[in-house]
Each structure stands twice: as structure tokens, then as C-alpha cells.
Structure 1
Amino acid sequence: MPKSLLIISRQAPWSGPSAREALDIVLAGGAFDLPIGLLFLDDGVFQLAIRQDAKAVQQKDLSANLQALGLFGIEDVYVCGESATARGLEPTALSLEPLHVLAAEQISAVIDRYDQVITL
């Protein structure tokens, strides 16, 4: 049985390649039917903001990659509710569904469910 993997994405989509790399890992894992999850934490929640203008910061838009998660069988997608709220985002009005909104005290339990964790 393959080991499960959780990717924790902590970077804003315009702060460098980490956000795209996190999504690439998750999509590749999904393509190979690995048990994989994705957690948006800290500035990573900005990846889920609606109506981003990626061209304004000369970046590629990640929204198509995010919408492809379901096509690759990625169902375990989490967001830290406190991270979203602290950055002015309403956790229930983010661009991705289904999305499991977690309280800060739930995050360690989710992390413990996975065999391996990668933070980007």
C-alpha cells in the first residue's frame, strides 16, 4: 500500500515558485492514485482568493490547476480558517470546493493522518 502524503502550501501565489510546485506535486501524486492531501496555511490561503490578477504581478494564474484537483481525485483539500480570516478572506467564500475549513487546533490531527508531510 502506498504511503499517504500531505502537502502544506504556505506561500502566496505571487511570492515565488513554491505555490506552483506544491500544486504540481499534488497533481502528480493524484495522477498516480497516491493517497494525497493539500493544506493551505498562512499566506498559502491567498491561492484560494477569488478574482486574482496574476498578470499584474507577471505570474501564471494557478486557478486552473486548483480546479483540476478534483479531476485528479484529490478530495482531501484543507484550509486553515484562522489563516484565511487573519488575511481578510472569508473561509466559506474561497474559490475551491469542496474545501475542509480547519480550526488551528485541528491541523495537527490532520497532519498526523499522513505518513509523509512536505511543506512548501
Structure 2
Amino acid sequence: MSKSLLLISRQAPWSGPGAREALDIVLAGGAFDLPIGLLFMDDGVFQLAPHQHARAVQQKDLSANLQALGLFGVDEVFACSHSLTERGLAPPASAQPLSSDEISTLIDRYDQVMTL
């Protein structure tokens, strides 16, 4: 039986390779039918913001990777409500917003948790 994995992405899409690496791990896990979830927290919620201009900061656009999550069987996508509010972002349709208490419960549901 596969162990479940929750990946917590905390880096903005333009802050370096961490955001891209987190998405790559989640997509690979989904491709191999690993029970996997993705939680965006802190500056990681910026990955969910619409109309990213990745070329302006010489980064790869991650929006296609985010849109592919469902195709790879990754249906458990969450965002920290507090992080969204702090950064002036509206809750995205692509991720379920969670309170701090709900995040604690979510983390307890998974066998393994990885933060990037």
C-alpha cells in the first residue's frame, strides 16, 4: 500500500527553483498513482495568482503545470487562507482555502509531509 504524501509549497514562483521543483514532485507522484496532496502557504500562494509574467523575471511560467495537476490525479490542492489574505489574494478556484486549524487536520491525514 502506498504511503500518502502532502507537499507544502512555500516559495513564490519567482524566488528560485523551489516552486517548480515542488510542482515537479507532485506531478511525478501523481503519475505513479501516489496518494498526494499539495498545500500552498506563505509566499507559495503567489503561484496561484492569475496573470503571472514569468518572462519579466526570467523564470519559467508554472501555470501549465498547475493546470495539469488534475490530469495527473492530483485532486487535493489547498491554500492557506491566512497567507492569501496577508498577500491580498482572492481564494483561487483551483485550490481549497483552509484555516490554520484545518491545515493541522490536513497534515495529520498524510503519512509523509515534505516542505519546499
Q: If the TM-score is normalised by the length of the shorter chain, which range does it land in? A: over 0.9
Match of 1:114 among 103, 110, 114: 110
Measure, in 2, the Cα distance between the counterparts of 1:101 and 1:12.
Answer: 17
2:32 equivalent in structure 1: 32
1:50 equivalent in structure 2: 50
Aligned residues: 116
1:66 equivalent in structure 2: 66
Measure, in 2, the Cα distance between the counterparts of 1:118 and 1:21.
Answer: 12
Q: What aligned pairs does 1:74-93 form with structure 2 within 5 A after superposition?
A: 74-91=74-91
Runs of 5+ unmatched residues, structure 1: none
Measure, in 1, the Cα distance between the counterparts of 2:112 and 2:82.
Answer: 24
Measure, in 2, the Cα distance between the counterparts of 1:54 and 1:38.
Answer: 21
Q: Could you tell me the percent identity over the aligned residues? A: 73
Measure, in 1, the Cα distance between the counterparts of 2:17 and 2:105.
Answer: 28
Secondary structure (helix, strand or coil) at the match of 2:114 reads strand
Instruction: Give the counterpart letter for 1:14 in structure 2.
Output: W
**Divergent runs of 4+, >3 A:** none
2:20 equivalent in structure 1: 20
CA offset at residue 100 of structure 1?
1.3
Instruction: Give the counterpart letter for 1:12 in structure 2.
Output: A
What's the RMSD between the two structures over aligned residues? 0.8
Q: TM-score, normalised by structure 1?
A: 0.94
Could you give the per-residue CA deviations for residues 55-83 of structure 1, whole angstroms, max 9, x where no partner exists? 11000000000000000010100000110
Measure, in 1, the Cα distance between the counterparts of 2:102 and 2:84.
Answer: 15
Measure, in 1, the Cα distance between the counterparts of 2:52 and 2:25.
Answer: 22
Q: TM-score, normalised by structure 2?
A: 0.97
CA offset at residue 106 of structure 1?
1.0
CA offset at residue 101 of structure 1?
0.9
